[in-house]
Amino acid sequence: MSTRQKIEQAVKTAGAVIRDDGEGKITGHHGEELEIGRVRPREAKREIERYGEPEVIDGRHLHVAPDADAVAFWLRGRKVFPYNNVELLIDGEQAFPAMLAAISDAKRSIVLESYIFASDATGKKFLDALVDRAASDVSVRVMVDGVGSWATDPDFWRPLLEAGGRVEYYQPLQPWRRRWGIWRRNHRKLLVVDDVVGFIGGINIGDDYAPLSWGGKAWHDVHARVEGPVVRELVRLFNRGWRNMTGERWNGSLAHPQRRGGTTLQVLESALTRRYSVRRAYLRAIRKARRTIRICNSYFIPDHHFRHALRDAARRGVKVQLLVAGKTDILAVRYASRALYARLMNAGIEIYEWTERVLHAKTAVVDGEWCTIGSYNIDARSLLHNLEANIACVDKRLGAAMDQTFERDIAKSSRIDRATWHRRPLTEKLVESFFFALRVLL
């Protein structure tokens, strides 16, 4: 029996999932990796069963065996985690109340990582919630980016620090500060409470993302609330960054993982040693697509290989739809992105521009089954310089929800007309070409 057959049989009999690294690994019920290599499937099953019986949650027996064929088809390259629950959160209107509720329920620990944590009304709501938990002996650690949060008032953090919380700036701009830097940025948006519930996506902490009812600008973005074994991986991701900044090790105190659903998840990070993991996941999904590819990305300047994969998909009959920013906070990126429209539309790709408010989302759904949500922009900065974090999963339920969200969004957007696109003024074309030439610097 081949290694792949052993893996597939172990997956189907023991509820494991695949890490395809050429040798063969499986992941047990609670996220622990187990080598199988030459091990017989019944021996792998016996190892997995050491981690206990499935839990009963809300009267349901959650022994939902992952779809081994779908997992093996879509997810490769990095370890994956079964038995998770994923909830889609659209805009700050849904995400912020859910995040604040989770923070207020914290009993043991909170870790929060954000590119921007503004010292405005929305930032104050989150700060107050964190201070309240820190004052109740909950471990609170916050990591923000030195560029993204450069405008945050230094005194803003004083109540949290006095309550016992911790705040670290990733590569602050001041040369006299430890581990300062300019070019490399931490663009992740993570929140994990008690190692049990996590949030990941593209939403920063600030009034730009807050709903209109809060007095915010209601930028359009997407977050996800996750529960299950994958949450421990989000904490490990945070802890690696924390260790780089402080030298402290925290993984030894992680809570035991619990199963919360039937979704298999993969954490994709863009970091120094895993620079291309998100891009590879995208390309793999695009190349395997048979029906639809729907990408929503606020800063869309794909490299040659990414563009080639999209054009190939469209030419083999896949319906490829792109939702990009019509209104943006970085005009140069919009110009650079528009320089690619003609080449993409010539291959049959549909392009829509979101014009209601600023678009900031970074999501994709392929064939209504493979989904990704996170902070990763399809541009050179996310690929080469930023620390990013996405989740990818195989989930038809979530895929259907993301398809519906995408369809609602394009109904409110303007489709770029291929027939008239070339008629725009020459000055616009020259500006677009200029910024496209500088795309690596944007």
Neighbours of 7 (CB within 10 A): 25
Active site residue 422: no
Q: Which of 194, 195, 379, 409 is catalytic?
A: 194
Active site residue 396: no
* Max CA distance (Å), the chain: 68
Backbone angles phi and psi of 77, in degrees to 5: 95, -35
Q: Which of 25, 29, 79, 189 is catalytic?
A: 189
Nearest to 112 by CA among 59, 188, 42: 188
Active site residue 288: no
The tally of CA atoms less than 13 A away on the side-chain side of residue 332 is 10
Distance CA 240, CA 249 (A): 8
Q: Which of 45, 220, 362, 379 is catalytic?
A: 362
Q: Which of 187, 195, 395, 409 is catalytic?
A: 187
Active site residue 189: yes
**Strand 109-114 vs strand 292-297: parallel, antiparallel, or unpaired?**
unpaired
* Contact (Cβ atoms closer than 8 angstroms) between residue 141 and residue 110: yes
Backbone angles phi and psi of 54, in degrees to 5: -60, 150
Backbone angles phi and psi of 333, in degrees to 5: -65, -40
Name the token pair of 25.
């690994």
As a whole number of Å, the end-to-end CA separation of the chain is 51
Q: Which of 91, 360, 379, 409 is catalytic?
A: 360
Length of the chain: 442
Active site residue 194: yes
Q: Which of 145, 208, 221, 367 is catalytic?
A: 367
Question: What contacts 12, CB < 8 A, 6 or more positions away?
Answer: 65, 68
Name the token pair of 261.
């659903």
Q: Known catalytic residues?
A: 187, 189, 194, 360, 362, 367
